[in-house]
């Protein structure tokens, strides 16, 4: 019998790729989406039908348990819940509503509908949780582990889109911005389709069951400075780096924290600045708890897509960077 997969977050960068991977593997895929999707609600149901071929779309509100039950699961049987759902901003209220609460509700409904396995897209940065969205993700990871259902919690390193925000700057002859000298952090970037394949393969790989799975892309770890150097090489521009001191971010965060006591919107901005600081100072690699150091060799790799191949395609006009709310620059 064809297994039925209920997918959350199907319209996001990794969600779209994951739906493609699941459909390709022959699963029956049902995606629960909201009436307007994508960055700033750019896409309606008609566009989504074209975006997610081979999958069934159901429209509703993932934050509303009644809608999830009525419009989503609709009392039918499902085998697996796959979630690429995540707050688009990482702002604390939204993160707790989406990364935690919506998932808790979905898990409850899924279990009622016969689901026995869950594949969850998380993030490698939750291994050192300093931010609200990381705590929200971890809180749901714990609920999932304790649920008794089979689980694969996939914690990827950085996505290509999050490392591509400066391509346009470099193309226009501007300097590449780095924090410090641009060599104090590194990551093993992972391509959308490689990550999607990894997620889809969790369904049938017993070695990925009941495991927390950090995962990066192929090749050695890359620093921000190396990203800049590659872009200067590809665009034929002379290498020019501008160093941004981390204490500039600290000053901005402190000012927004003070202002945020009066205006909640500014408190939210302070958290977004904290997110920026986190990615400026922490590597997206496995953290060795014994030494407290990031370890590239201990970070598993999958797939074939490399960040620099992706840069080359963007520079050649063959790929377009999706600029979402998670972008660092
Ligand atoms: N960016 C990185 O480098 C990176 C690295 C490692 C891990 N991650 C993690 O990977 C995960 C997914 O990333 P992504 O880039 O694929 O995410 P994304 O493109 O921002 O997509 C988020 C998905 O969640 C849905 N969503 C958000 N808020 C919603 C709401 N209120 N109601 C219904 N649906 C909602 C979005 O639906 P709409 O289209 O309707 O908005 C979309 O389908 C996140 O957990 C992120 O932390 C990211």
Contacts (Cβ under 8 Å, ≥6 apart) of 63: 97, 98, 101, 102, 105
Q: Whose CA is nearest to atom 17 of ligand 1?
A: 12
Interhelix angle 103-112/132-146, nearest 10 degrees: 20
The secondary structure of residue 296, as a DSSP letter, is S
Pull the structure tokens for residue 173: 């002859």
Cβ–ligand 1 contact at 15 (below 6 Å) = yes
Cβ–ligand 1 contact at 109 (below 6 Å) = no
> What separation in Å is there between the alpha carbon of 227 and the centre of ligand 1?
24
pLDDT digits (tens, 9 = 90+) for 166-200: 999 999 999 999 999 999 999 999 999 999 999 99
Pull the structure tokens for residue 231: 């872009």
**Ligand 1 atom nearest residue 9's Cα:** 43
> What separation in Å is there between the alpha carbon of 87 and the centre of ligand 1?
6
Kindly report the pTM of this predicted structure.
Answer: 0.96
> What separation in Å is there between the alpha carbon of 235 and the centre of ligand 1?
30
The rounded distance, in Å, linking the Cα atoms of 272 and 14 is: 22
Radius of gyration of the chain (CA): 20
pLDDT digits (tens, 9 = 90+) for 104-119: 999 999 999 999 999 9
Cβ–ligand 1 contact at 134 (below 6 Å) = no
Cβ–ligand 1 contact at 14 (below 6 Å) = yes
| Residue percentage of the chain with pLDDT more than 70 | 98
Please answer whether residues 125 and 97 qualify as being in contact, where contact means their C-beta atoms are separated by less than 8 angstroms. Answer: no
For range 271-278, the mean pLDDT = 94
> What separation in Å is there between the alpha carbon of 9 and the centre of ligand 1?
6
Contacts (Cβ under 8 Å, ≥6 apart) of 6: 30, 32, 72, 73, 78, 80, 81, 82, 110, 113, 115
pLDDT-based confidence at 327, cuts 50/70/90? Answer: very low
Cβ–ligand 1 contact at 12 (below 6 Å) = yes
**Checking DSSP bridges between strand 28-33 and strand 241-244, what pairing results, if any?**
unpaired
């Amino acid at each position: 019998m064809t297994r039925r997969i209920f997918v959350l977050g199907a319209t996001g960068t990794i969600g779209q790729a994951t739906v493609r991977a699941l459909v390709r593997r022959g699963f029956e895929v049902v995606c629960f989406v909201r009436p307007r999707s994508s960055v700033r609600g750019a896409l309606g149901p008609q566009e989504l039908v074209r975006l997610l071929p081979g999958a069934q779309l159901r429209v509703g509100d993932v934050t509303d348990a009644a809608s999830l039950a009525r419009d989503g699961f609709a009392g039918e049987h499902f085998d697996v819940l796959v979630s690429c759902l995540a707050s688009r901003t990482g702002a604390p209220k939204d993160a707790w509503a989406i990364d935690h609460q919506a998932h808790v509700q979905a898990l409850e409904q899924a279990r009622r509908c016969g689901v026995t396995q869950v594949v969850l897209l998380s993030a490698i940065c939750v291994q050192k949780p300093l931010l609200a969205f990381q705590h929200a993700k971890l809180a749901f990871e714990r609920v999932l582990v304790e649920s008794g259902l089979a689980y694969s919690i996939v914690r990827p390193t950085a996505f290509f889109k999050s490392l591509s925000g400066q391509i346009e700057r470099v193309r226009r002859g501007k300097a590449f911005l780095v924090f410090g000298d641009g060599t104090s952090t590194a990551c093993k970037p992972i391509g959308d389709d490689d990550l999607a394949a990894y997620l889809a393969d969790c369904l049938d790989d017993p070695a990925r069951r009941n495991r927390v799975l950090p995962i990066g892309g192929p090749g050695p770890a890359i620093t921000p400075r190396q990203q800049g150097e590659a872009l200067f090489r590809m665009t034929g521009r002379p290498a020019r780096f501008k160093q941004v001191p981390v204490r500039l971010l600290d000053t901005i965060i402190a000012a927004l924290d003070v202002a945020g006591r009066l205006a909640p919107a500014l408190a939210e901005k302070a958290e977004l600045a904290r997110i920026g600081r986190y990615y400026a100072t922490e590597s997206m690699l496995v953290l060795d708890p014994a030494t407290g150091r990031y370890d590239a060799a201990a970070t598993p790799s999958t797939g074939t897509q490399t960040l620099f191949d992706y840069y080359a395609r963007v520079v050649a006009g063959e790929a377009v960077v999706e600029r979402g709310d998670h972008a660092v620059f």
